């Protein structure tokens, strides 16, 4: 009877682990960040670890009810799962670091924007640059939003000219937007 109770508790713990893992997998496919298309990875990881913790707790409870060599050896699975998850996370982070190191899209765009900034009218400075870019076969795609700051409104400045100048400078199929003091100046919408 105690062995049956152990197996029921152990299977419930395993089912909770499977439930949280499936839920984390579905949460990873939801696009929280539209620009990068990445899901909320930290929340998904916390769900997986929560499932592993429940499985471990249920195994310990079952072990207290039915201590035997079989029940002790069944604890190998809930003890190895956190290590497997941790190693996969480390592998993914290492892969992401290598991918980031190989790509120079942001540096390329930032250097071109610095060259373009020298041609801006006096008083206009680049405040921040928001990127959502990636490259495929040496072609940079995505969107760049440049926030400029200026003490004056700069009425009469032909921002279409400066926008076209920036597009020629970067020479990539990017969607570019220029904002001066949080007001859209290029392209005019």
Give the HSE-up count for residue 116: Cα atoms under 13 Å, Cβ half-sphere: 22
Give the mean model confidence (pLDDT) for residues 116-129. 87
In this predicted structure, the answer to whether residue 51 has a pLDDT above a threshold of 60 is yes
- Predicted local distance difference test score (pLDDT) of residue 43: 72
- The more confidently predicted of residues 42 and 147 is 147
What is the distance in angstroms between the CA of the first residue and the CA of the last residue of the chain? 74
Q: What architecture does CATH give domain 105-186?
A: 2-Layer Sandwich (3.30)
- How confident is the model over 68-105, as pLDDT tens digits? 888 888 888 888 888 887 887 778 777 777 666 556 77
Cα-based angle 159, 162, 164 (whole degrees, multiple of 5): 110
Q: What is the mean pLDDT of the chain?
A: 81
How far lies 106's CA from each of 94, 116, 164, 166, 187, in Å?
20, 15, 20, 15, 22
Q: Say how far apart CA 105 and CA 111 lie, in whole Å.
A: 10
Give the mean model confidence (pLDDT) for residues 133-148. 82
- Predicted local distance difference test score (pLDDT) of residue 11: 92
Q: Say how far apart CA 85 and CA 80 lie, in whole Å.
A: 9
Give the mean model confidence (pLDDT) for residues 6-26. 87
In this predicted structure, the answer to whether residue 182 has a pLDDT above a threshold of 50 is yes
Q: Which residues, other chains included, contact 48 with Cβ-Cβ below 8 Å and sequence gap of 6+? A: 20, 21, 24, 85
Model confidence, pTM: 0.46
* Selection from 7-16, 36-45, 84-93 with the highest mean pLDDT: 7-16
Confidence of residue 35 (pLDDT cuts 50, 70, 90): very low
Candidate from 2-6, 72-76, 87-91, 172-176 with smallest mean pLDDT: 87-91
Give the mean model confidence (pLDDT) for residues 133-142. 78
The percentage of residues in the chain with a pLDDT greater than 70, rounded to a whole number, is: 88
In this predicted structure, the answer to whether residue 12 has a pLDDT above a threshold of 90 is yes
């Amino acid at each position: 009877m105690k062995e049956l109770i152990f197996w029921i508790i152990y299977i419930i713990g395993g089912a909770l682990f499977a439930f949280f893992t499936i839920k984390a997998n579905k949460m990873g496919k939801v696009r929280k960040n539209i620009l990068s298309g990445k899901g909320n990875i930290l929340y998904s990881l916390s769900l997986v670890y929560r499932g592993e913790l429940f499985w471990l707790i249920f195994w310990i409870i079952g072990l207290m009810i039915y201590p035997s060599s079989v029940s002790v050896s069944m604890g190998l699975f809930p003890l190895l799962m956190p290590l497997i998850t941790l190693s996969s996370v480390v592998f993914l982070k290492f892969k992401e670091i290598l991918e980031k190191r190989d790509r120079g899209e942001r540096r390329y765009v930032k250097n071109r924007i610095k060259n373009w900034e020298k041609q801006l009218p006096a008083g206009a400075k680049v405040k921040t640059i928001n990127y959502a870019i990636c490259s495929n076969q040496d072609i940079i795609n995505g969107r760049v939003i440049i926030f400029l700051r200026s003490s004056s409104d700069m009425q009469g400045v032909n921002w279409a000219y400066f926008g076209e100048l920036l597009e020629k400078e970067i020479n990539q199929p990017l969607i570019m937007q220029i904002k001066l003091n949080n007001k859209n100046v290029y392209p005019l919408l």
